[in-house]
Amino acid sequence: MAIGRRTTINREAWEARNFMYDAGIASQSAASTRAMQRVNGRARAGFRVSGGSTRLADLYQSGSAKIRLPKVYDEPTTAVLINTAGGLTGGDRLSLEFALDDGAHAIVTSQAAERAYRSQTGTAKVAAKFQVGARATLEWLPQETILFDASNLSRTIEAELAEEASLLMLESVILGRKAMGEKVRSVFFRDSWRIRRGGRLVFADEVRLEGDPYDFLSGPATASGNLCVATLLDCSPQAEDRLSLARSLLDALPADRVRAAASAWNGQLIARLTAADGQDLRTALMSFLTGYRSASLPRVWHC
């Protein structure tokens, strides 16, 4: 009896090990045939002036999209975006909306870099909408977006500005982290910006990257082989007057690490920067933004 019992236990253990192995294979097979859980995050915040200060007037968040409002002193009200999913992949959706009443001033940034991971199927979509009232200022200063190999991301940004409103917005993209030895050989990325003032389109920018970035970013008219890029737009009544300041700040950046230029026209200023290394681009952006804004960046940028 003792021998028979010992045999039974051993057989049960063997079957358990094989059952676990079969379950693992089955889960991999099933994942390709059934819809996987996807991110569907929405966040909205509104700000108004009360008692001489910009204060939160409206807040909504659902899914993986969260907004936190850290205490700040002698700085504009700051909203920090958090994607609790940790990144985006095919089929994910993220919707963000921010509205500022007349005279309000707010900064919107992100807790960390956003990540677009490998997509098995479908496109991750991010949509951001801004509404900025008269004499109000919105600073959209998220940290970089990292595109991993085989990622598929489409982003749209739409802003409606009152006649005397100001919008300062930055977006930077890293195609693979050089320090981690990552190489992106296939990617799809679409970035569409539309800025309107008083209902009239004043700025449109359309970027579409598809295929091998080592091919389409290698030319002198694109990025000269750099895989880290950033665009800054200042759409404000004072934008054109700040061109000399912007160029002087860009000229001070290390030319052997960062390529940059700025132009201004029709009440807006745009600067573009490229670098081979994400850390070099980030360091350059922090230096430029601090000087251009005459103010420190939100604390999350220094973490």
Same domain? 1 vs 80: no
Same domain? 275 vs 292: yes
Average pLDDT across the chain, whole number: 89
Per-residue model confidence (pLDDT) at position 8 = 39
Per-residue model confidence (pLDDT) at position 221 = 85
Q: How many domains does the chain have?
A: 2
Same domain? 22 vs 136: no
What value does the mean pLDDT take over residues 16-25? 36
Query: Per-residue pLDDT for 104 more than 80?
Result: yes
Same domain? 10 vs 42: no
Split at pLDDT 50, 70, 90, the class of 37 is confident
Q: Are 44 and 94 in contact (CB under 8 A)?
A: no
Taking each helix axis from N to C end, the angle separating 243-251 and 278-293, rounded to the nearest 10 degrees, works out to 140
Same domain? 248 vs 103: yes
Same domain? 168 vs 246: yes
Per-residue model confidence (pLDDT) at position 35 = 62
Split at pLDDT 50, 70, 90, the class of 145 is very high
Same domain? 26 vs 158: no
pTM: 0.87
What value does the mean pLDDT take over residues 189-199? 98
Query: Per-residue pLDDT for 41 more than 50?
Result: yes
Q: What is the pLDDT of residues 218-277, one digit of tens each?
A: 988 889 999 999 999 999 999 999 999 999 999 999 999 999 999 999 999 999 999 999
In which domain, by residue range, is 30 found? Answer: 1-34
Same domain? 30 vs 55: no
Same domain? 276 vs 246: yes
Same domain? 178 vs 200: yes
Residues forming a β-bridge with 264: 269
Split at pLDDT 50, 70, 90, the class of 39 is confident
- Whole-angstrom CA distances from 69 to 77, 80, 250, 300 are 8, 6, 31, 12
Instruction: Read off the tokens for 234.
Output: 């200042």
Same domain? 18 vs 112: no
Same domain? 105 vs 13: no
Query: Per-residue pLDDT for 12 more than 70?
Result: no
Query: Per-residue pLDDT for 32 more than 70?
Result: no
Per-residue model confidence (pLDDT) at position 27 = 31
What value does the mean pLDDT take over residues 12-19? 40
Q: What is the Cα–Cα distance from 118 to 133, expressed in whole angstroms?
A: 39
What value does the mean pLDDT take over residues 113-131? 96
